[in-house]
Chain A
């Protein structure tokens, strides 16, 4: 339990003269939901892209289960058990749920030199996995486009879990969703966490983070402002740290604490 599933130690990332990440440390344990909060431009995207193998860190060490790693592609990260669910790019709307679910890893049957997708098996597994996530599909052949935003995120999460993700990185899964869909996704995160997977939940919504997070790390202008455990910090403090302090406190005063 003491070794983090993934550990980012003092990661720096420079793009030319711009220091996008200036020494960020972050880790996630088994069965934990670690929220990464930050305002737009704080470096959240750069950070998750570094974790998921899209970018290589300029400095710093990444460890997976205690071992030093250097990913050269998203494929490497996936093989190490790190799955990323991107907000808009999770699913292809015109394709069926089954086709999306298995995309890139289709189960096959073969006869001599001919190989084809085992749709019977694929459909059954898709239906089972979806109902275990609390979504009852009408049929596995229905297009993903017919699902709501929250359901699409859930399909993507179910897919990552089914294919053996140990760490699940969720890039603002709730930011485009309505109230009810958001609670569905948060419930899914909770379910996934209980199965022992480490969840990294990226968001700028403090309330969503508070609902499921075990630990909270705030990223601001490429720096971490420390990590707090659940119960040690108030939502207002997180909000302040994200915005960098004073200005928001004043703003919030004039808005009556509604932000």
Chain B
């Protein structure tokens, strides 16, 4: 009963119909572009790579959470506020209250994931769009963050975390670097530059891979595996694709959605913790607009805003594009405000592309 009107689909076309397509092309384009205009500016030296690598990794961490949540059919606009909130929680608990840093970090994770669960619970129970519920939390969390910070320290920046984290068993997991020896060796044999003066003379300019990047890679691999290979991943697609159809075959849609809200909160807290450990301080205004940047990464990565379709690898490439362009414009000496113009432009372009790809997949006309 084969249908003679359906043309045999070529391998190329089949390879093209995948969510990551746009992001793969975009990544190649962006790298070629910056090789041409900023190739000799140090952007692709070890230090330059570390520079945009870290920025991309930051985007990637929150993009993985936003991606899985969006595929499950929901948004979280409170990610940015949660980043500020988690950071201030860690700083207040460790610096002001004198708790060990590891305990403060665990407390921040517990509190933030509980708020994520509350977000999800409200969305499920009220049936309201997650856009509205999490928009409320965008304001609630930001307000609480500033209030808590001023209440305990009379200022909106809380320093001293670096000193408190000295020798802490858990802080290293967020603020340290790995492969130090390897990078020292690279420096010694002259592959990467070393400092020629000062107290760090002889050390390589890049002393290892920051834990932030390790977290980003780990989350991307985990998210991709979870989504494409596991039963839970199938349920994520199903919950976002058609929640009612999924319920009819026994998929626990509510549980899936609430867990994805919690995972998004987890990613936001990882971001916040890494940032606090890097700067040695927390500030109430951290994470502004991050929720939208995460969503843009996800959309560039090919996910549909309506849920049910997308890719973690795509979102990670979206984050890479994001980081490379933001830092690349700086290396190229371009006006950095143009970055926002670029963002808006690429967002529209990506959404149009995705709609087109969706039509190709489902054969809609």
Contacts and interface: CB of A to CB of B under 8 A. Distances in A.
Interface in A127-146: 134-136, 138, 143, 145-146
B259 to A, nearest CB: 16
Interface string B231-272: 101110110011011111111000000000000000000000
Interface in B317-365: 358, 361-364
Interface stretch (A102-110, A196-204, A207-215, A221-229): A102-110
A90 interface: yes
Given A75-B250, A103-B238, A103-B246, A94 B229 contact: no
Given A89-B244, A143-B362, A95 B238 contact: yes
B1 A89 contact: no
B361 A84 contact: no
Instruction: Tell which of A74, A93, A102, A134 has the most Cβ of chain B within 10 Å.
Output: A93
A145 to B, nearest CB: 3
A78 interface: yes
B241 A93 contact: yes
B363 A117 contact: no
A91 interface: yes
B230 A116 contact: yes
Contacts of A103: 234-235, 238, 246, 249, 251
Contacts of B238: 92, 95, 99, 103-104
A75 B248 CA distance: 8
B248 A89 contact: yes
B308 A95 contact: yes
Contacts of B363: 143, 145-146
Nearest to A138: B9
A146 B231 contact: no
A89 B362 contact: no
Contact of B364 (A78, A86, A138, A145): A145
A219 B146 CA distance: 64
A93 B1 contact: no
Interface in A68-105: 74-75, 78, 84, 86, 89-95, 99, 102-105
A115 B230 contact: yes
A184 interface: yes
B199 interface: no
A106 B229 contact: no
A135 B1 contact: yes
Interface residues of B, number: 31
Contacts of A92: 237-238, 241-242, 245-246, 308
B245 A94 contact: no
Contacts of A74: 247-248, 250
Interface in A168-223: 184
A104 B9 CA distance: 30
B1 A184 contact: yes
Contacts of A78: 250
Nearest to B225: A116
Interface in B248-298: 248-251
A184 B3 CA distance: 13
B2 interface: yes
A74 B247 CA distance: 9
Nearest to A73: B250
Nearest to B229: A116
B222 to A, nearest CB: 11
Contact of B241 (A95, A102, A104): A95
B309 interface: yes
A117 B227 CA distance: 11
Given A95-B308, A99-B237, A115-B230, A89 B2 contact: no
A115 B308 contact: no
Contacts of A134: 1
A134 B3 CA distance: 12
B254 to A, nearest CB: 13
B248 A86 contact: yes
A78 B249 CA distance: 9
Contacts of B1: 134-136, 184
B245 A84 contact: no
B15 to A, nearest CB: 12
Contacts of B233: 117
Contacts of A116: 225, 229-231
A152 B361 CA distance: 15
A116 B234 CA distance: 10
B231 A108 contact: yes
Interface of A: 74-75, 78, 84, 86, 89-95, 99, 102-106, 108, 115-117, 119, 134-136, 138, 143, 145-146, 184
Given A99-B234, A102-B234, A103-B246, 9 more contacts: A75-B250, A86-B245, A86-B248, A92-B241, A92-B242, A106-B234, A116-B230, A143-B363, A145-B361
22 contacts: A84-B248, A92-B241, A92-B246, A94-B358, A95-B237, A103-B234, A103-B235, A103-B249, A104-B235, A104-B246, A105-B249, A106-B234, A115-B230, A117-B233, A119-B229, A134-B1, A135-B1, A143-B361, A145-B362, A145-B363, A145-B364, A146-B362
Interface of B: 1-2, 6, 9, 225, 229-231, 233-235, 237-238, 241-242, 244-251, 304, 308-309, 358, 361-364
